[in-house]
Structure 1
Amino acid sequence: MLSVRTKMRPAVFIYPGLLLLAACGSDPVVDPGECANALSMEEQQAGWRLLFDGQSLDQWRSYGEQELNTGWGVENGCLARLYRGGDIITREQFGDFELKLEWRISAAGNSGIFIRGDESGSSMHHSGVEMQVLDNAGHRDARDPSHRSGAYYDMIVPDHDTSKPVGYWNQVHIIALGPAVEFWLNGRQTAQFSLGSPRWQALYEQSKFADRPRYGTLLKGHIGLQDHGDKVWYRKIRVLER
């Protein structure tokens, strides 16, 4: 993991269930018009629900903590990593589900989306699987094809780069039904796998997770967002339980 860069802390105002901030220093800030989080009528009718509505962070907490620390907050209606705060996870756990969200990464930035993780280890990487979030053009982690945006991190290499560059929003769709999992980025599938299958087992044994026995074994767990030391924004985070 990269070391966290020292950053000037923004002013943070705390209200019940809500973090509001005024960014300072050289940190980029998203425009308020970019962070719409409402469900469409079709999504409402299908049973989708928001995990973040642009105001309240009540559905999230910091990994290993009971509440959400101030490393993450609401920036102009987006859920943003502000400065060092560690990974965050949903209070709820999900088994069979679809997850949709959009992310925007800062220059040379790194983050990730975890599914089906627990808090048995020191980080979500000990149990949950990750879809990579990365500035492929500017971050050195892109030298490893299995660490590029959309990849099943350190396990499956996308056969194409469908990510959008810094300054643009990327659309994620993750489908998890039993052991079967699909990762989609900007309308194209970037990974498909079955947890515990012979193919998955072979990949696992060659990965950095091979010494973590709980990795990829859970069929229900928390959804998480990674703090990798860089500014990142998330919006339209919604889930459909199956």
Structure 2
Amino acid sequence: MKHLIYFVMSALLLTVAGCTPKEPEINTLTKKEIAEGWELLFDGKSLSNWKTFNGGEVTGWKIVDGILHNSGVGADHGGDIITKKEFQNFELYVEWKIAAESNSGIFYHCQEGVVNAIYESAPEYQLIDDKGWPTKLKDSQYSGSNYDMNAPVNAEVVPIDEWNKTRILVDGPHVEHWLNGKKVVEYELWSDDWKARKEESKWRDKPYYGMSKSGHIGLQDHGGLTMFRNMKIREIK
């Protein structure tokens, strides 16, 4: 009888173990995504699709178990990076996780050669430790915002040890920021409202800010640690 009970319990344990959900493979595309025109910006193994903003080969950034880590601060600070390829209209998907009191961002339509800093030309989707940031933030500085231009509405970050899901849609002048399944920002580039917001922001004396209709995707190496994975993009024809 004891042997029978042991056998049944062992079988049950094996069944339960077999039913445990398998972690989805990261930095890959499904057949459906490939058919829809998605392409990976990061394969979890190399940074062959990326370069340093206004520079060459990426330095300081690290790949750890398929996750891209920015360099943060210190002697190995690498600076902001951009895709080698430029994009005009697109849907971008990125998963990110940020360390306590850290700050980063995702840029689009970045232009090299005309500005010294990436944010002087490119709008920024803000990434920050919303709940643990040591100083008071403006509404337009929380995660998901169009930094210093549009505050996010009903944005909710996940706990700091979990992955946030970001989607950025750019279709002509129309831009949408999504955070964890919610649309949190929507605006029209070069509209009267956009021009008024720019005049009241830190970009009012930056003539190249937000003016390009195409450019590179960028990741900020600003302060503290931010991690990225599952970065993919689909061009809108």
TM range (shorter): 0.7 to 0.9
| Cα distance in structure 1, aligned partners of 2:196 and 2:25 | 40
Residue 39 of structure 2 is aligned with which of 40, 49, 56? 49
Q: Which residue of 1 aligns with 2:109?
A: 116
Report which of the two has the higher share of helix: 2
Q: Which residue of 2 aligns with 1:86?
A: 79
Q: Which residue of 1 aligns with 2:93?
A: 100
Superposition RMSD in Å: 1.4
CA contact (8 A) 2:170 2:176 kept: yes
Is 2:208 aligned against 1:219? Answer: no
Residue type of the partner of 2:54?
G
- CA deviation after TM superposition for structure 1 residue 35, in Å: 7.5
SS in 2 for 1:201: helix
Residue type of the partner of 1:205?
E
5 Å matches for 1:80-229? 80-83=69-72, 84-119=77-112, 120-140=114-134, 143-229=137-223
Residue type of the partner of 1:96?
N
Taking only the aligned residue pairs, the percentage that are identical comes to: 40
| Cα distance in structure 1, aligned partners of 2:217 and 2:234 | 13
| Cα distance in structure 2, aligned partners of 1:47 and 1:36 | 18
Is 2:55 aligned against 1:65? Answer: yes
| Cα distance in structure 2, aligned partners of 1:116 and 1:208 | 18
Is 2:224 aligned against 1:235? Answer: no
SS in 1 for 2:47: coil
Q: Choose 1 or 2 for highest CA Rg.
A: 2
| Cα distance in structure 2, aligned partners of 1:118 and 1:82 | 22
CA contact (8 A) 1:114 1:225 kept: yes
Is 2:69 aligned against 1:75? Answer: no
Q: Is the deviation greater in 201-210 or in 134-143?
A: 134-143
| Cα distance in structure 2, aligned partners of 1:131 and 1:142 | 19
Structure 2: 5+ residue stretches without partners: 1-22
Q: Structure 1 length normalisation: TM-score?
A: 0.83
Residue type of the partner of 2:168?
I
- CA deviation after TM superposition for structure 1 residue 142, in Å: 5.4
- CA deviation after TM superposition for structure 1 residue 114, in Å: 0.2
| Cα distance in structure 2, aligned partners of 1:165 and 1:149 | 13
CA contact (8 A) 1:35 1:235 kept: no
- Aligned residue pairs total 209
- CA deviation after TM superposition for structure 1 residue 39, in Å: 1.1
Residue type of the partner of 1:79?
L
CA contact (8 A) 1:142 1:148 kept: no
CA contact (8 A) 1:156 1:191 kept: yes
Q: Structure 2 length normalisation: TM-score?
A: 0.85
- CA deviation after TM superposition for structure 1 residue 56, in Å: 1.4
CA contact (8 A) 2:71 2:221 kept: no
Deviations 1:63-97 (A, max 9, x none): 1112111x112111011113421100000110011
Q: Is the deviation greater in 205-214 or in 156-165?
A: 156-165
1:241/1:142 CA distance change after superposition, 3 Å: farther
SS in 2 for 1:91: strand
CA contact (8 A) 2:155 2:179 kept: no
CA contact (8 A) 2:50 2:81 kept: yes
- CA deviation after TM superposition for structure 1 residue 190, in Å: 1.3
